[in-house]
Structure 1
Amino acid sequence: MLNKLSDTIYYLSNQDDKDRPTLGLVCGDRYSLIIDTGNSTQHAKEFLLEIEKLNVPPIKYVVITHAHWDHFLGMNEFDATVIVNRQTNERLKEWQSYQFDDDSLQQYVNTNQISAKCMEIIQTEIPNRDVFKLNSPDIIFEHTLTIDLGNKVCLIESIQSTHTDDSTVIYIPDEKVLFLGDAAYGTTTNSLFHFKQSLLAPMITDIQKYDAEWFLLGHESICDLHEMTLYWDELVAASQAAQSTSLENAVDCFKAEKQRDPNDNELFFLQAFVNDRIVQS
């Protein structure tokens, strides 16, 4: 079931057990715009079935927030203009060359091109895999693109991110809503989850320039401004305390600065920034 944020903005909540991210729908007077297409054709079809229950304008545009498989493998189900940034387009080219039969998928897993979970989702939720081929995007933008859906402007922009270097966000000014995709998350390198410490401040600056009150994230669904501000505060505090590859030292620095123990979120972030020091070294 779609969640209604306003008369013109809806979203399908994430499902962590199925590796399904949040999907968005923005409606203007003339057209509608989709944000991310799901992790499979089945995910996309379920989203489209929910949209059909609404009396909304036809879907004209689709925006992919970044080139991680769970956000774009449903792309082929949408009869619309697909928009990506330049970096995302380069990453999608590799996927457009993939074959999706069992032998090929297993080879991609063996060479760490895709995860075992990705293979499982593809095998169970993409039919006719022997002839499946990912479509190409239609519009590739460099930095910023503005779309008018009819009295509903969407600002589409590439930003710096601790998650991936091809992150796109979508801002709806009159609603003060920002779709972040996975931009505010960390990443995994050599089996270590980490936040890229060098990109934290630039990312926060890029995101906080928007006058947003609601934030749609890929795997938490929706946060208000207070929740996002708390998230930034905890990340910044953890980053400032993690100045070496020692978690113990990071915790001690945090305690000395804050005069308290870190909470569970802050401890998780401390470990992630310590991991980043390890990755960078």
Structure 2
Amino acid sequence: MHTIKEIGRTFSYITPVSLTDRPILGMVVGNNKKLMIDTGNSEDHAADSVIVYVKEEKILFLGDCIYPKMYAEKVHYTVKEILRLLDELEAFDADTYIPSHQRPWTKEEFCQERDKLRMITKFTGLCGGDHQKIVSEYQAHVNRELKEDELETIDYFVNGY
């Protein structure tokens, strides 16, 4: 069942029921006006995703932009595109980030995801897209066994290299 969660003074959003549930809607209320935001469902998980910034509440709707390209021969990220995207997202002064299919992220959680993506892009380039070398370098960098989502992200970069 969908629930309405309040974030900030004038912002609410409708939670997804499952990871594939659509749409995620947001509502900004002020001066007797309401703005409904649908982050959309990109055909290939990034190419036409919409980013919406609510400055007064410091909320950034990420839509599907942060996810890998799904509708390709292999699910993938590309180093060039993810670095461009991260540079763009960092320009916003947000405290809350709302990706499609997930609960909202705090600024700290967004920064952790951003740092992971930046390091994996770095090692993808340095290692020439070699999966095992990237895994070894990233594991040495974080100084622990890699988590499932980190290994999956490495797979996506290798697929897009």
Mark the CA change 1:168 to 1:18 in structure 2 (over 3 Å): closer, same or farther: closer
Identity of aligned residues (%): 25
Where in structure 1 are there 5+ consecutive unaligned residues? 37-64, 70-161
Alignment match, 1:241: 123
Select 1:262's aligned residue among 146, 155, 158: 146
Mark the CA change 1:177 to 1:17 in structure 2 (over 3 Å): closer, same or farther: closer
Q: Which has the higher contact order (CA 8 A, sep 6+)?
A: 2
Q: CA RMSD in A?
A: 2.2
Matches of 2:65 and 2:20, distance apart in 1: 20
Matches of 1:196 and 1:225, distance apart in 2: 24
Count of matched residue pairs = 157
Alignment match, 1:40: none
Q: CA shift at 1:250, angstroms?
A: 1.7
Where in structure 2 are there 5+ consecutive unaligned residues? none
Alignment match, 1:118: none
Q: What secondary structure, in the 3-state scheme, does the structure 1 residue paired with 2:27 have?
A: strand
Mark the CA change 1:18 to 1:197 in structure 2 (over 3 Å): closer, same or farther: closer
Alignment match, 1:199: 81
Mark the CA change 1:168 to 1:258 in structure 2 (over 3 Å): closer, same or farther: same
Matches of 2:50 and 2:36, distance apart in 1: 13
Matches for 1:177-188 after TM superposition, within 5 Å? 177-188=59-70
Q: Deviations over 1:74-108 (max 9, x none)?
A: xxxxxxxxxxxxxxxxxxxxxxxxxxxxxxxxxxx
Q: CA shift at 1:18, angstroms?
A: 5.4
Select 2:135's aligned residue among 247, 251, 257: 251
Mark the CA change 1:201 to 1:22 in structure 2 (over 3 Å): closer, same or farther: same
Q: Is the 8 A contact 1:12 1:23 kept in 2?
A: yes
Is residue 42 of structure 2 the alignment partner of residue 68 of structure 1?
yes
Q: Could you state the TM-score of these two structures normalised by the residue count of structure 1?
A: 0.51
